[in-house]
Amino acid sequence: MSDLPRPGVVERLSSTPSETEIDAWHAVVTAAHRHDMPAGVPGPGRVETAGQLRVPAARSRIVRLAVPAPGGDGDGYAGVALIRLFEDDVNRRTAWIGRLAVRPDQRRRGVGSLLWHEIRAVLERERRDSVSLELEIGSVGEQFAKERGFECGLQLVLYVQRIADEDGGEAGDEAGDEIGAPELPDGYRFVEWTGVVPAANAALFAGVRNAMADAPMGELDQQPMRWDAESITAAQRGFVERGGHLFTVTVAAPDGTYAALTEVGVRSPGDLRAQQYETAVAPAHRGLGLGRAVKLRMVQLLRAQETPVREICTHVADDNGPMRAVNKLLGYRPERSVGIFQAKVK
Ligand SMILES: CC(C)(COP(=O)(O)OP(=O)(O)OC[C@H]1O[C@@H](n2cnc3c(N)ncnc32)[C@H](O)[C@@H]1OP(=O)(O)O)[C@@H](O)C(=O)NCCC(=O)NCCS
């Protein structure tokens, strides 16, 4: 029994974790990733882990929990958990588990249960009614979560678009055809930037970002955030402060407002796989091919930047027909199924 974690040994890391704490945390998440994820799915980089621990996501506080490994000093952590406590008005009663992972050699010893017990205590103290997290369908995590009252509230498929070959040459779509150049209707034009949105574009960008409110959220309590110039600037700045590279393409309509956007992020410099974040077309401009155009322009932009990025991955809800159709045209292929699971706290 001596090598089992003792009850009550969950540590809470400060908001400025040391390099040693970040290394120990990163060792857990990378070992879990190698053990649990299909080969070929790139794991998180160290910059991403450090950024996630040090810089909270938009309008949120984070709580970082760790269970020390039973070997004592210098042996790192047996398991870690990160809770995101939303602070925007619409999401103040819910929360997100950004990480809950146990080192493969420390599993089935109660570490996951210990972390979950502490997560619940935090959520109760913070008066949260529910909490959600993303899980691989068919994984051990899904089994663990279902036994703790989580239910799938939104089913998603993770798709990957190959944009460059191993040697950096341009990759085509599944049929081997070149992915193509974007076309815009008369009077529309691209406005794009890397990093944080320029001050002059922020209000227009926030306007079109609110069109995301239409994306299906399934049975989840979490609601899309509402953005203004200040909050959208802070969100993009947060991503950059976490050490990532961010690319944004928008389309300005003839009246000067923004009609469409797409955002892609590289969480650690050198990552081969970029993450697609929001893509949205404002309701008045749908049906004009702008969703396809912004994504094609993004591929051109990434190639022009000469980043090491080889592929872009995106999550799409099973019932989001229009987005799936756009992605199919662009050569995205399905990789695996995930779900957003939610549990009531009380
Ligand atoms: C899910 C995870 C956190 C569980 O950690 P753990 O420390 O092994 O969990 P515990 O020892 O507290 O297990 C508690 C119970 O969960 C269930 N469980 C855990 N692993 C299981 C497995 N491989 N198969 C079936 N049930 C399992 C069992 O009911 C277990 O109780 P038991 O050991 O008495 O039978 C861990 O497997 C992990 O890190 N997975 C990858 C990351 C992930 O999916 N995170 C999301 C979790 S919600």
Ligand 1 center to residue 229 CA distance, Å? 42
Report the pLDDT value the prediction gives residue 131, as an integer from 0 to 100: 98
Sequence-distant (6+) residues with CB within 8 A of 114 are 5, 7, 9, 10, 67, 79
Q: Give pLDDT tens digits along the chain (346 positions).
A: 445 555 558 999 999 999 999 999 999 999 999 999 988 899 999 999 999 999 998 899 999 999 999 876 667 999 999 999 999 999 999 999 999 999 999 999 999 999 999 999 999 999 999 999 999 999 999 999 999 999 999 999 999 999 887 665 666 544 445 567 899 999 999 999 999 999 999 999 999 998 767 666 778 999 888 899 999 999 999 999 999 999 999 999 999 999 999 999 999 998 999 999 988 999 999 999 999 999 999 999 998 888 889 999 998 888 788 778 878 878 888 999 999 999 999 7
Maximal C-alpha separation, the chain: 72
Report the pLDDT value the prediction gives residue 95, as an integer from 0 to 100: 98
Sequence-distant (6+) residues with CB within 8 A of 97 are 81, 82, 83, 84, 119, 131, 132, 133
Ligand 1 center to residue 140 CA distance, Å? 6
Ligand 1 center to residue 150 CA distance, Å? 14
Distance CA 211, CA 243 (A): 27
Sequence-distant (6+) residues with CB within 8 A of 72 are none
Ligand 1 center to residue 112 CA distance, Å? 6
Report the pLDDT value the prediction gives residue 40, as an integer from 0 to 100: 86
CA-nearest residue for atom 36, ligand 1, is 102
* R_g over Cα of the chain: 21
CA-nearest residue for atom 35, ligand 1, is 108
Report the pLDDT value the prediction gives residue 176, as an integer from 0 to 100: 45
DSSP E strands: which ranges in 137-215?
151-162, 189-194
Report the pLDDT value the prediction gives residue 264, as an integer from 0 to 100: 97
CA-nearest residue for atom 42, ligand 1, is 101
163 three-class SS: coil
Distance CA 337, CA 156 (A): 6
Pocket of ligand 1 (CB under 6 A): 32, 36, 100-102, 107-113, 133, 135, 139-141, 143-145, 147
Ligand 1 center to residue 194 CA distance, Å? 40
208 three-class SS: helix
Q: With contact defined as beta carbons under 8 Å apart, do 91 and 225 qualify?
A: yes
Distance CA 194, CA 206 (A): 16
Q: Which ligand 1 atom sits nearest the alpha carbon of residue 78?
A: 7
Question: Cα dihedral angle (48, 281, 174, 312), rounded to 10 degrees?
Answer: -10
Report the pLDDT value the prediction gives residue 2, as an integer from 0 to 100: 45
Distance CA 108, CA 341 (A): 22
Domains recognised in the chain with CATH numbers: 11-128 (3.40.630.30), 158-341 (3.40.630.30)
Ligand 1 center to residue 98 CA distance, Å? 17
Distance CA 51, CA 268 (A): 9
CA-nearest residue for atom 28, ligand 1, is 144
CA-nearest residue for atom 32, ligand 1, is 108
Distance CA 161, CA 314 (A): 8
Ligand 1 center to residue 107 CA distance, Å? 7
